[in-house]
Amino acid sequence: MSSPLHDNEARRSLWLSTAPAMPATGPLAGQISADVVVIGGGFTGVSTALHLAQQGVDTVLLEAEEIGYGGSGRNVGLVNAGLWLMPHTVLQRLGQQYGKRLIALLSNAPQLVFDLSATHRIECEVVREGTLHCAPNRRGEAELRQRVAQWHELSAPVRLLDREETHARTGSPLYRCALFDPRAGTIQPLAYVRGLASAALNAGARLFVHSKVTGWRKLDAGWQIETERGCVRTGWIVVATGAYTIGLQPELRAQQIHLPYFNFATDPLPPAQRAAVLPGGQGIWDTRTVLRSFRLDRDGRLVVGSVGSLSGRHRQVHQAWAQRLVRRAFPMLGRVELPYAWDGMIDMTADQVPHLHKLAPQVIAINGYNGRGIGPGTVFGRELARYVAGAIGEEELPLPFSEPQSVASRAAQEMFYRLGSLAAHWAG
């Protein structure tokens, strides 16, 4: 799949078009040393580098492409609390100790995102008006009622909105009800991860782009990491490559189920239309299996997304579907043009919870955010930094270390998501 960060008229990323530029960084050249090497320049990797540098740890980050090249720069930009799973399911799958710990950590994740944005003056279009999880049918309404009940058991400040209030906040007649979560909000995701990277540089971390890791080997004391033009000697390695893990860690890719997700965006809406569409300021998504999402950016562009890839002829089907959906969801807009289009991959796991791995002595990896990259990536970066720096022990981490487990049906599931979404959007 081609990169949305390589802009052209046929496929333009809204986030690339509107994000502030990154400070000048280049590829690694020659031999250097560091206490820790972080591999991957997305939310998790950059957050890890920032929090390590703030603790005085000499840190190098290596990114194969550009900061935010992977899921962090292809994101919808919804900053949500928790996982896709309901709280009870998280407790069942992780047990009480780690389940409660993870739920608490991710419940507070949006606050950390907003705090970092404010502290480091990151210009990333922060909107702290919450998010809406919307139900288009009775099945979805029953699901949301169950979610609200489970969150209330944990004293979360969510509430269920009836049809009238949901219509008032969304401007759309499509939904029966919605779960309103005031902890959440929206950001410009590429601007956010670039801002975190600037903060990491200011804190003393060294960031190298276009520096694909080609191998690593054990030394008597620590590791040597090789890139195409240089190498780093280090004591610790943190692998934070998510759905864009390639080459060196086949065991991580083998446990990931890749879910493609695309977004289209309009030009800025006229003032009267902008006032009528999502007037509450929330980003929204729904309970459908092939889910849909909507949000506005700072300039009033409507962003619509769903499951699917924009490769080849798939784009035509998904774009026609997106235009039909916008007309149904927001009839006041009529037919809209969608000049921006981009897509990316979400790394799903078989149990739909993140996995933390110890690949070798002092080599750790995290993946499997299952579509919730912004908050989890940010807080896991902080927690991994605390662990590597010795501020917390293994028993205090939000997840236990586990062995990567291959998913036998991975290829079939990935094909199902790609072709199933195509069929649903063609028929829909």
Helix pair angle (314-329, 410-427), 10° resolution: 50
Which pLDDT does position 87 carry in this prediction?
96
335, 379 contact by CB (below 8 A)? no
| pLDDT 10s digits, 326-353 | 999 999 999 999 999 999 999 999 999 9
* Average pLDDT along the chain: 94
Task: Please give the pLDDT value at position 199.
Answer: 98
Q: 36: domain CATH number? A: 3.50.50.60
Residue 332 lies in a domain: no
pLDDT at 239: 96
Task: Read off the pTM.
Answer: 0.95
**Tens digits of residue pLDDT in 197-248:** 999 999 999 999 999 999 999 999 999 999 999 999 999 999 999 989 877 7
What is the amino acid identity at position 136?
A: P
Stronger pLDDT, 14 or 404, i.e. the higher one: 14
Of 260, 213, 214, 252, the closest CA to residue 367 belongs to 252
Q: What is the DSSP letter of 349?
A: -
Please give the average per-residue pLDDT across 155-173, as a whole number. Answer: 97
Q: What pLDDT is stored for residue 238 in this prediction?
A: 98
pLDDT of residue 360: 93
pLDDT digit string, tens, across residues 34-65: 999 999 999 999 999 999 999 999 999 999 99
**Number of domains into which the chain is organized:** 1
pLDDT band at residue 10 under the 50/70/90 scheme: very low
Centre a 10 Å sphere on the Cβ of residue 92 and count the other Cβ atoms it contains. 13
pLDDT at 1: 34
DSSP for residue 307: E
Judge whether 391 and 403 are in contact, CB under 8 Å. no
- Asked whether residue 364 is assigned to any structural domain, the reply reads yes
Domain encompassing residue 215 = 14-76+190-255+351-408
90 domain-assigned:
no
Given a cut of 70, whether residue 5 has pLDDT beyond it is no
- E strand or H helix that includes residue 410: helix 410-427
Binning pLDDT at 50, 70 and 90, where does residue 128 land? Answer: very high
Q: Does residue 239 belong to any structural domain of this protein?
A: yes
The encoded tokens of residue 159 equal 């509430």
10 contacts: CB under 8 Å, gap ≥ 6: none
Residue 4 has what pLDDT? 40
What pLDDT is stored for residue 11 in this prediction?
A: 53
For 241-283, the pLDDT digits (tens) are 998 987 777 888 888 889 999 999 999 999 999 999 999 999 9
User: pLDDT tens, 383-426?
Assistant: 999 999 999 999 999 999 999 888 888 889 888 888 999 999 99
More confident residue, 370 or 134: 134
Structural domain contains residue 35 = yes
Considering Cα of 321, then 297, then 191, then 183, what sign does the dihedral take? Answer: negative
Helix (H) and strand (E) counts for the chain?
12, 18
Read off the DSSP letter of residue 71. G
